């Protein structure tokens, strides 16, 4: 994830075309406001959503955006693709600057999050957060109790030379399970069931952290989350 923090003098220089001396003069004359307060510190670190203005001229006033969408099968978790429809294609043009916080593969469905808030999406996907993601999985072959222990112990993936973190598996029926992951390795769930030679027929994510996909949400539906809802994702 790219950095969204910059020095105040750099932002002013890019906006005005002024050199260091000109920028310092603006600051010294108290013509620059940061979040509504006059600022004279050229080294002040400005975040992605910090409001910056020179007199009445708005230099930066970004607002965080958080979107929850029920991803359909056959839609790519990407911002652009030459072959398939992307999740951004399902949203109005005003959301074209968003990025994805935790992908689902082409044939997987369910809860997907998009945002312009790089810090928030890093927390969603970062392994240090250990944010639980919940999936309903439909399999080709019948299940047995040995799956539960294997998932709980973790599995070694030789290609990456890692052992997966413990995962919770609950058997719902002979061919259906609920799985809780706190990490997101490449095609992790499909590869874990692959150890049992049991192909995944359908994979649906219905919850991320405390945020659950509404039961009445149709495929392709989306809604914008409030800041409170977005932060509430991390509540235990």
Listed by start position, the domains of the chain span 6-60, 66-232
Helices within 63-217 (DSSP H only): 118-125, 146-153, 188-194
Alpha-carbon gap, residue 104 to 78, rounded angstroms: 9
Q: With a cut of 90, say whether residue 80 has pLDDT above it.
A: no
**CATH topology identical between 6-60 and 66-232:** no
178 is catalytic: no
- Whether the per-residue pLDDT at 223 is higher than 80: the answer is yes
Q: Which entry of 41, 57, 105, 174 is annotated as an active-site residue?
A: 105
Place of tokens 């013509």: 31
Instruction: Quote the pLDDT of residue 3.
Output: 52
Question: Hunting for tokens 């808030």 — which residue is that?
Answer: 117
pLDDT digits (tens, 9 = 90+) for 184-200: 888 999 999 999 999 99
pTM for the predicted model, two decimal places: 0.85
Please identify which residue in the block is written with the tokens 């307060």.
37
Check pLDDT > 60 for residue 2.
Answer: no
Does 1 score more than 60 pLDDT? no
Q: What is the pLDDT of residue 236?
A: 63
The pLDDT tens digits of the residues spanning 9-37 come to: 999 999 999 999 999 999 999 999 999 99
Could you confirm whether domain 66-232 is CATH 3.40.50.300?
A: no
The pair of three-digit structure tokens given for residue 195, joined into one six-digit string: 């150890």
Residue 232 has pLDDT above 70, yes or no: yes
Assign domain 6-60 to a CATH class: alpha beta
Report whether pLDDT(220) > 60: yes
71-98: average pLDDT: 93
Residue partners of 94: CB distance under 8 A and separation at least 6: none
Q: Average pLDDT, whole number, for the chain? A: 94
- Pairing of the two strands 156-157 and 162-163: antiparallel
Asked whether residue 5 carries a pLDDT value surpassing 90, the answer given is no
Structure confidence by residue, pLDDT tens digits, 103-117: 999 999 999 999 999
pLDDT of residue 235: 86
């Amino acid at each position: 994830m790219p950095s969204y923090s910059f020095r105040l003098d750099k932002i002013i220089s890019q906006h005005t075309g002024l050199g260091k001396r000109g920028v310092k003069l603006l600051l010294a004359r108290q013509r620059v406001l940061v979040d509504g307060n006059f600022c004279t510190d050229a080294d002040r670190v400005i975040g992605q959503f910090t409001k910056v203005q020179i007199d009445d001229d708005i230099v930066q006033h970004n607002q965080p955006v958080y979107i929850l969408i029920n991803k359909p099968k056959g839609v790519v978790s990407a911002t652009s693709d030459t072959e398939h429809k992307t999740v951004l294609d399902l949203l109005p043009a005003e959301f074209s600057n968003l990025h994805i916080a935790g992908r689902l593969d082409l044939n997987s469905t369910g809860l997907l999050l998009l945002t312009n808030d790089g810090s928030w999406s890093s927390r969603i996907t970062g392994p240090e957060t250990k944010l639980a993601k919940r999936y309903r999985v439909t399999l080709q072959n019948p299940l047995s109790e040995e799956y539960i222990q294997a998932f709980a112990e973790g599995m070694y993936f030789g290609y990456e030379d890692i052992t997966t973190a413990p995962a919770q598996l609950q058997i719902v029926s002979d061919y259906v399970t609920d799985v809780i992951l706190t990490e997101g390795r490449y095609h992790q769930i499909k590869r874990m069931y692959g150890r049992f030679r049991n192909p995944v027929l359908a994979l649906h994510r219905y919850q991320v952290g405390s945020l659950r996909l509404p039961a009445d949400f149709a495929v392709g539906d989306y809604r914008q989350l409030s800041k409170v809802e977005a932060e509430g994702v991390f509540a235990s």
